[in-house]
Structure 1
Amino acid sequence: MRHGRVVVVTGASGGVGRATARAFAERGARVALLARGREGLAAAADEVQRAGGEVLVVSVDMADAKAVDDAAQQVVDAFGHIDVWVNNAFAGVFAPFTEITPDEFRRVTEVTYLGYVFGTRAALRHMLPRDRGTVVQVGSALAYRGIPLQSAYCGAKHAIQGFNESLRCELLHARSGVRTTMVQLPAVNTPQFDWVLNRMPGRARPVAPVYQPEVAARAVVHAGSHGRRREYWVGGSTVATLLANAVVPGVLDRYLGRTGFDAQQDEGAHDGPGNLWVPADGPHGRDHGAHGRFDSESETGSWQDWLSRNRGRVGLMAAAGGVGAAVTAGLRRRG
């Protein structure tokens, strides 16, 4: 029997989580899939097995701390330990802040923020005694830069960013072999835009440019193997947004105030099932897969992501080029 790394992926029934689970399986991992939706989990499990990975399916609501602890224990009972834990599950409401009820805001926070907290705690309970393992927090450019119509989601992502930095400092203080890192994503073509709770007149859509979930998955898999880096930025749009927000945040406030509403809506009525309170694929739903409806406009690669994952190689190439140029110049002077 093959004994690859043991990887837990939350929110594994669709979107980035689904693509990430498949990517780890292609590299020989044993993958535990955590999510609420049973149809999506079953389909994701089939993909993991066809990719060559062993699979464990656990239906769990990430907002339930005890259920998350129990899920982690199921993984250890089945596979012996946990090498990588990927926090990815989330929920959202697509509406102006004043049109989101307190219960809805609380639910988004419990799933999207506290779900990461509970997942991280469950992972550390098994990683710390072994003094090894990596927790990957799947983030977003919105962890730094809030945008209109997604106040609950942006608030949760900002909270994850602060929580993760605090935890990282504590692990470094303890000289622990356990690592935590965060992957900040751009807009991704996932089914979330058809199942998010939406109170706007148009259908929800990501702000262009849009990337395929496999681009995000490659970055998450890399982060799971290189957890010493505190953060990864995926996509040129993420880099541009975060740098601009650091330099001219007020300008971005005004720009997004003018453009952010229209840029996040398509024509047509929103008719998605909504997944805030129940999974989008149940009890009478269907599997939604990893991709959303934006395949025709989505990028399948990112030069920035490649540079981020290969910066050591790029540095060596640049150094080699510099040495070569210096030698050539020296020979010319001597000639």
Structure 2
Amino acid sequence: MVRVVVITGGSRGIGRAAALRFARRDTRLVLVARDEVALASAAEACRRRGAEVLTLAIDLATPEGPARARDAAIVRFGRIDVWVAAASVFSYGSVEDTPDAVRDRVVETNLVGHMRAARAVLPHFRARGGGTIVFVGSLYSQVAGPYVSSYVAAKHGLLGFARSLRQEMLAHRGIRVRVVLPASIDTPIYQRTANYTGRTPFPLPPVVSADRVARAIVRVTRGRRLEVGVGAAQFVTRPLQAIAPRVYDRFIRALQRTLGLRRRPAAPTPGAVLAPQHDPGAVSGSWPRVPVRRPR
């Protein structure tokens, strides 16, 4: 049966990669993001794979945004089967240097917007007898890092919210709540980040492709796993923080200052946090990736 899949943050990065994956599976897609130019580009790429696509230029951080996206999807396609919560913005800066407006928008987009979206779509899922929400969290949902406190706080909150929601939905067996937790992923988010460090940001190695996350998103919509991590860093940082938190604190600070924030000067910028930067968008940010070994 053809499924109707809503993907927030569907214009770039992980959301766009997921859209391309779903488009190969005879899915009706609803792509939601702020940038109409990037949305049009992503939609065309999905249509070339045979998908029917609706694009919605909606800011999920606004109070009415998630409900508007839900209503438009139902009007066009009659129902929603899967809601992929992938919209995300990023910021670098110390707690003191990050402007209040940037901090608040990071939390509104990465946490509050997804909470509102769940509240908006759940009555529809109950009325239909089922549906799936996939939250795209982060390795930072489980560990911390310096100079990214707003993002860490939002992603920690998103994982906690998803787990609480999953517990509530035990009374509604047809409604499934899944979480995908990427580590460092090759997406354009680092070029579009807010930055108040004076240095140039880079993703912490090892970096893996957004398509690996997209494959995990597609799999969890059909499988039984509740939470899935993606990326080699998952196997190092989580155990280290749990076993030796003081060692982890020193390690992650040194890693961030040497590899995550290079000494190349960078002027303060809100990036794409407060307003979209209109361009065709892309899945990849062209960061060096960890090669994937394929079985022979």
Q: TM-score band, normalised by the shorter chain?
A: over 0.9
Q: Secondary structure at the match of 1:57?
A: strand
What is the distance in 1 between the residues matched to 2:26 and 2:213?
A: 19
What is the distance in 2 between the residues matched to 1:270 and 1:133?
A: 44
Q: Which runs of 5+ in 2 are unaligned?
A: none
> Aligned-pair RMSD on alpha carbons?
1.9
What is the distance in 1 between the residues matched to 2:265 and 2:70?
A: 40
Structure with greater proportional helix content: 1
What one-letter code is carried by the residue in structure 1 that aligns with 2:282? G
Q: Structure 2 length normalisation: TM-score?
A: 0.94
What is the distance in 2 between the residues matched to 1:214 and 1:56?
A: 22
Q: Which runs of 5+ in 1 are unaligned?
A: 307-335
Greater Cα radius of gyration, structure 1 or 2: 1
2:13 match? 15
2:252 match? 256
Kept after mapping to 2: 8 A contact 1:14/1:191? yes
Deviations 1:87-122 (A, max 9, x none): 011122211111012222111111111111112122
* Equivalent residue for 1:39, pick from 33, 37, 40: 37
Kept after mapping to 1: 8 A contact 2:21/2:218? yes
Deviation at 1:240, TM superposition (A): 2.3
What is the distance in 2 between the residues matched to 1:122 and 1:302?
A: 41
Deviations 1:156-206 (A, max 9, x none): 00000111111111111x143100010010101111111111122332111
* Aligned positions of 1:108-187 closer than 5 A: 108-172=106-170, 174-187=171-184
* Equivalent residue for 1:212, pick from 206, 209, 212: 209
What is the distance in 2 between the residues matched to 1:175 and 1:118?
A: 19
Kept after mapping to 1: 8 A contact 2:83/2:134? yes
Deviations 1:261-309 (A, max 9, x none): 222124544478811111121xxxx223111031xx2135489xx9xxx
* Aligned positions of 1:226-265 closer than 5 A: 226=223, 228-265=224-261
What is the distance in 2 between the residues matched to 1:120 and 1:98?
A: 32
What is the distance in 1 between the residues matched to 2:16 and 2:291?
A: 16
Q: Structure 1 length normalisation: TM-score?
A: 0.83
* Equivalent residue for 1:299, pick from 286, 290, 294: 290
Kept after mapping to 2: 8 A contact 1:9/1:31? yes
What is the distance in 2 between the residues matched to 1:229 and 1:248?
A: 28
Of 122-131 and 55-64, deviating more is: 122-131
1:324 match? none
